[in-house]
Amino acid sequence: MKKQITILPGDGIGPEVVHEAVKVLEAIGGKSKLELTLSEALVGGAALEKAGEPLPAATLDLCRRSDAVLLGAIGHPRWDSMPPERRPERGLLGLRGELGLYANLRPARVYPSLAEASSLKAELVRDIDILIVRELTGGLYFGRPRGIEADRGYNTMIYHRHEVERIARTAFEAARRRRGKVTSVDKANVLEVSQFWRQVVVEVAREYPDVTLDHIYVDNCAMQLVRNPGQFDVLLTENMFGDILSDEAAMLTGSLGMLPSASLGSGTALYEPVHGSAPDIAGQGAANPIATISSVGMMLRYSLNMAAEADKLDQAINRVLESGARTRDIAPPGSAWITTAAMGAKIRTAYLEM
């Protein structure tokens, strides 16, 4: 089996964590006879520096011709003063829009050996297994008009029926493969767009009589995630709500460095860690590569039709964590931790030994 994968290291710690994830992917390919062609390209701040724009046409063309894309992270404070349309983040938003990636899947579950690393009590998080299904190409991030004027700044939150229908179906289909429950997140007590969102989700739910649907306001959802996270199975959210809540859910698992994501839609799928570029620790060997390596696992499952290998990779990560290996972000205060490269090597070895 031959597959073309585009690698977008990006900014900050992106190149470090992607380097380890690529090594794991190559090891999996070698063991399973998967013939990989890996091509690296520029996006974000790295693209701004070398090509003068956050998403060069050559990068977009390469992604379109690939079977999957692996992204590290985007952004750095030195570009914060740039006009919005020129900032590194526009590279990522451009990829999502141009590739038609409307569904962002963000699983949040706690490895048993990391229950004590969570910011909550271990008994609250020990059995967490949540899938956040976030709409990715609508809402405030893409709505028009938007702009900054002398005395005001403004954005537009807008959703069309087809956008809500397709992301809702993604959530209901996922729930069918899990525990059969969808919780739709909105702010229908205040926002008309949320009232419309709820209306359409209810209509789609009629197609899935075997799945339970309930609704929750976004502020209450934020509270419930730290009060009783085990109540959730699939969380269905619009774009900005999902962005915020998935970061909160990440901290329940011990660290942002643990959460992978998959962005799916009508074009080439994109896989990336939930965390940002963390420029303050770049080059120190302190970044956690597990989120990016787990994103490779999602790539195996959703783009490469290699679910068995994805399961084995998850087992390898669990085995390494059970051995006590910790990067700095998940190590107990004052205890020893291993480098980004060392964690990547341990996971790679554990997979090859299975």
Model confidence over 91-148: pLDDT tens digits? 998 999 899 999 999 998 888 888 777 777 777 777 789 999 999 999 998 899 999 9
Q: Which of 243, 271, 312, 329 is an active site residue?
A: 243
Look at the block and give the residue holding tokens 């990636």. 101
- Output the pTM of the full model: 0.90
Q: Give the span between the Cα atoms of 15 and 27, in whole angstroms.
A: 18
Cα dihedral value 322, 327, 328, 329, nearest 10: -80
Q: Give the span between the Cα atoms of 87 and 141, in whole angstroms.
A: 14
Instruction: Identify the CATH assignment for 106-257 out of 3.60.40.10, 3.10.350.10, 3.40.190.10, 3.40.718.10.
Output: 3.40.718.10
* Confidence check: pLDDT of 82 > 80: no
Clarify whether 217 is annotated catalytic: no
Clarify whether 247 is annotated catalytic: yes
Q: Which of 131-140, 234-243, 252-261, 319-328 has the least mean pLDDT?
A: 252-261
Q: Which of 61, 127, 214, 219 is an active site residue?
A: 219
Let me know if 296 is exposed, middle or buried by CB neighbors in 10 A (0-12, 13-18, 19+). buried
Phi, psi dihedral angles at 182 (to 5 degrees): -115, 130
What's residue 163's pLDDT?
97
- Both tokens of 348, joined, read 């790679």
Clarify whether 351 is annotated catalytic: no
- Both tokens of 116, joined, read 């004590």
Domain range 1-102+265-354, CATH architecture: 3-Layer(aba) Sandwich (3.40)
For the chain, which residues make up each domain, given as ranges?
1-102+265-354, 106-257
Q: Which of 187, 208, 233, 346 is an active site residue?
A: 187
* Confidence check: pLDDT of 155 > 90: yes
Give yes or no for a contact between 252 and 229, defined as CB atoms under 8 angstroms apart: yes
Model confidence over 176-211: pLDDT tens digits? 999 999 999 999 999 999 999 999 999 999 999 999
The answer to whether domain 1-102+265-354 and domain 106-257 are alike in fold is: yes
Question: Residue 108: how many CB atoms within 10 A of its CB?
Answer: 26
Beta carbons within 8 Å of 130's beta carbon, 6+ residues apart: 107, 108, 109, 229, 232, 233, 234, 235, 249
Q: Which of 129, 181, 217, 247 is an active site residue?
A: 247
Q: Give the span between the Cα atoms of 259 and 242, in whole angstroms.
A: 14
Clarify whether 243 is annotated catalytic: yes
